[in-house]
Amino acid sequence: MQINHPETLSAVTAAFYRYEQALITNDIPVLDALFWHDERTVRLGAGENLYGIDAIRDFRAARPSAGLMRALSNTVITTFGDDYAVCSTEFTREGSAHIGRQQQTWVKHAEGWRIVAAHVSVMR
């Protein structure tokens, strides 16, 4: 297995930053497109545990769209082979001293790279 094959790493990095842009602009269709559309998809959030794509979609639809800007730091993207990756990052929001953490597991599907599991938490 090759770790961080340049083409695979480039593709996952592009998907990760596409997700980030969609997140801060509340682009729900792109956010939805980048998650695996399956009942086994999991997103453990700072204040919610979401099991299945329907729960994730419901959360996105109800989430406030203000105050989404954030700055990323310590981003680490690692690919394993050509169809599996883990993306980890920290984030901060203006006006808050708290550090957020986000980790995503990405898998390459026929339709492209999709998040199959995600975790978001805030250090207090």
What is the SS3 string spanning 23-60?
A: HHCCCHHHHHHCECCCCCCEEECCCCEEECHHHHHHHH
Residue 66: its pLDDT value, please? 85
pLDDT value of residue 83: 98
Rounded mean pLDDT for each run of 10 residues along the chain, 124 residues in total:
97 98 96 98 96 97 89 98 98 93 98 98 91
Domains of the chain: 6-123 (3.10.450.50)
Contact 12, 23 (CB under 8 A): no
Q: How far is CA 25 from the centre of its chain?
A: 14
